[in-house]
């Protein structure tokens, strides 16, 4: 099969590299990392000559940036791809991951370990993805430009695109890639309405008898307030569209609910995303995350996970994108997981197909395990892997991720099962001071390598990081690092994760100290009862 070569090559002002392919009949990708004190991207023109299937390239440059560049070496002959099946030869593909957060880093990490994956590319990626070697980053590819992405895929022989964030999905990137004949894991813009419009999702639930909270949708503030007055507090107000995780208000008082309605429908703080609001029944219980891979008709479950939305210890403060997570989640028993598949996931997949917009991708069901009934109700759907839940799931996944995602794209998930480590995994998110409000940028983060060697099974996933002009890792986002660890049980995973966090020298960041407290409390209660 074709080979992927990766090296830390530091050329002089005039250096040459000889490249030899083990298989002269198939293209391969070479990942080159260049170092410089200058932050501006630069690579010299390449000149090629071929003799006996060898390729030579000469660089003429005075300064090189520490970035990954791709060199595609292709001989005159071509080789047909082999299809994924139950037997025979396996397909090996170059995979492009769209996105640049912690979720995408985790996907790159899992894909790199996949036997069906020849190489992993990530656009735009981030400094940590690049420096870890988990993928070759393509920072200059404009992922909002479908034509540019299609051209890149065709040029570099990309056989599978995995779209991480919700914004390009809702914008229709998957539509354009599929139309161009490129296998893409991620729903069309029509199917992505499950996340892009809460009203669409709630109406689907109503039509196909999917258990969810009672609701009404409004575009008039006065009518919404009248309904809220009738229902009383606590009550939940949601912007209909995408609002970067900030469009939900759990109002414990009527005045708070009225303010949320005014901010969305009158002041327009979320723009078009808030031109409609969903007013929803407040559900009391414990939240959990459930994920399933879907091929349009079939769905297979992933392992359970649970995240921590609130910014502060003890689940205090405002909601965030997630300050930590763990897997498995004890609250989602095997019986409850079966219930979710039968009452929520399968009806959704069937309903979407009947509505004429088959769903291909990952369905992320945000659930509330109701205190009064003990059964799950659907809070929301997301149409991509959760962040930070993806980090703990990819740490535990033992199956060939690329092969499974290819099967999903081809409608071949029927009969597929996934292998998971019996270990537990936990991720502790380190965020910039001030998050989820205004936060600092540019602070230096040190001792990341020491953190990954403090204990077995530790991996630091990068989200909002970059390199400064001196090569230091700096914080550029709100949620910056996902310090993740595996252990024989949740206690060991937690101990390892927090030991790694303590190794990281970052005065500009903070983290929660109680990730996993619900699961550990449940275990303590169960032990006492025994």
Q: Which residues of 314-349 are buried (b: 16+ CB within 10 A; e: fewer)?
A: eeeeeebbbbbbbbbbbbbeeebbeebbebbbbbbb
The size of the chain, in residues, is 530
Enter the CATH code of domain 93-185.
3.40.50.20
Pairing of β 458-462 and β 479-487? antiparallel
Q: Which residue has the tokens 């809460």?
A: 198
Between the CA of residue 388 and those of 20, 53, 102, 408, 481, what are the distances in Å?
Answer: 40, 45, 7, 23, 10
Report the predicted TM-score, pTM, of the whole model to 2 decimal places.
0.81
CB 307 within 8 A of CB 429: no
Determine the number of helices (DSSP H) and then strands (DSSP E) in the chain: 16, 30
Angle 267-273-275 from CA coordinates, rounded to 5°: 55
Q: Where are the domains of the chain?
A: 5-73, 93-185, 214-277
Q: Report, at the CATH architecture level, how domain 214-277 is classified.
A: 2-Layer Sandwich (3.30)
Q: Does this chain's domain 93-185 share its CATH topology with 214-277?
A: no
Predicted confidence pLDDT, tens digits, the chain (530 residues): 433 333 333 333 333 333 333 343 344 444 444 444 333 333 333 322 222 222 223 222 222 234 444 444 433 333 333 333 333 346 799 999 999 999 999 999 999 999 999 999 999 999 999 999 999 999 999 999 999 999 999 999 999 999 999 999 999 999 999 999 999 999 999 999 999 999 999 999 999 999 999 999 999 999 999 999 999 999 999 999 998 777 899 999 999 999 999 999 999 999 999 999 999 999 999 989 999 999 999 999 999 999 999 999 999 998 899 999 999 999 999 999 999 999 999 999 999 999 999 999 999 999 999 999 999 999 999 999 999 999 999 999 999 999 999 999 999 999 899 999 999 999 999 999 999 999 999 999 999 999 999 999 999 999 999 999 999 999 999 999 999 999 999 999 999 999 999 999 999 999 999 999 988 876 554 444 44
User: What phi and psi, each to the nearest 5 degrees, are found at residue 212?
Assistant: -155, 175
Q: Going by C-beta distance under 8 Å and a sequence separation of 6 or more, which residues neighbour residue 182?
A: 150, 153, 154, 158, 161
Q: Going by C-beta distance under 8 Å and a sequence separation of 6 or more, which residues neighbour residue 23?
A: 1, 2, 3
DSSP 448: H
Q: Is the peptide bond prior to 328 cis by the omega test (within 30 degrees of 0)?
A: yes
DSSP 272: G
Q: What tokens appear for 89 in the block?
A: 């030869």
d(CA 362, CA 400): 16
């Amino acid at each position: 099969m074709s080979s992927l070569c990766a090296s830390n090559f530091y050329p002089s002002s005039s250096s040459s590299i000889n490249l030899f392919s083990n298989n002269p009949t198939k293209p391969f990708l070479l990942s080159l990392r260049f170092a410089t004190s200058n932050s501006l991207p630069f690579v010299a023109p390449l000149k090629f000559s071929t003799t006996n299937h060898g390729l030579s390239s000469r660089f003429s440059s005075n300064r090189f940036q520490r970035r990954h560049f791709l060199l595609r070496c292709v001989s005159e002959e071509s080789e047909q791809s082999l299809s994924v099946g139950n037997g025979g030869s396996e397909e090996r593909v170059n995979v492009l991951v769209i996105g640049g957060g912690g979720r995408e880093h985790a996907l790159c990490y899992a894909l790199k370990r996949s036997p069906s994956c020849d190489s992993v590319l990530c656009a735009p990626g981030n400094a940590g993805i690049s420096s870890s070697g988990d993928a070759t980053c393509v920072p200059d590819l404009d992922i909002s430009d479908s034509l540019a992405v299609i051209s890149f895929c065709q040029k570099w022989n990309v056989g599978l695109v995995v779209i991480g964030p919700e914004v390009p999905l809702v914008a229709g990137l998957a539509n354009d890639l599929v139309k161009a004949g490129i296998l893409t894991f991620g729903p069309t813009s029509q199917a992505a309405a499950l996340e892009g419009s809460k009203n669409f999702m709630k109406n689907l639930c109503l039509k196909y008898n999917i258990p969810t909270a009672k609701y009404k949708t409004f575009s008039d503030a006065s009518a919404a307030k009248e309904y809220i007055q009738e229902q009383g507090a606590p009550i939940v107000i949601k912007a209909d569209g995408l609002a970067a995780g900030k469009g939900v208000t759990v109002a414990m008082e009527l005045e708070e609910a009225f303010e949320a309605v005014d901010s969305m429908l009158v002041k327009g703080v979320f723009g078009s995303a808030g031109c409609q609001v969903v007013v929803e029944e407040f559900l009391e219980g414990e939240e959990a995350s459930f994920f399933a891979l879907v091929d349009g008709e079939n769905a297979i479950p992933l392992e359970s996970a649970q995240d921590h939305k609130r910014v502060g210890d003890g689940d205090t403060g405002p909601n965030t994108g997630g300050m930590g997570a763990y897997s498995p989640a004890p609250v989602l028993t095997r019986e409850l997981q079966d219930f979710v598949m039968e009452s929520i996931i399968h009806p959704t997949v069937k309903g979407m197909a009947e509505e004429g917009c088959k769903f291909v991708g990952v369905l992320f069901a945000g659930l509330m395990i109701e205190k009064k009934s003990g059964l799950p109700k659907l809070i929301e759907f997301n149409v991509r892997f959760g962040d930070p839940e993806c980090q703990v799931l990819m740490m535990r996944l033992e199956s060939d991720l690329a092969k499974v995602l290819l099967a999903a794209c081809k409608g071949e998930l029927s009969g597929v099962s996934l292998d998971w480590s019996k270990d537990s995994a936990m991720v502790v998110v380190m965020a910039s001071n001030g998050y989820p409000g205004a936060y600092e940028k540019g602070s230096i983060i040190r001792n990341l390598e020491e953190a990954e060697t403090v204990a077995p099974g530790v991996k630091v996933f990068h989200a909002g990081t970059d390199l400064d002009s001196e090569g230091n890792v700096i914080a550029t986002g709100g949620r910056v690092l996902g310090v993740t660890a595996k252990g024989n049980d949740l206690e060991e995973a937690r101990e390892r994760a927090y030991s790694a966090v303590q190794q990281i020298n970052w005065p500009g960041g903070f983290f929660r100290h109680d990730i996993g407290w619900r699961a550990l409390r449940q275990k303590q209660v169960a032990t006492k009862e025994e």
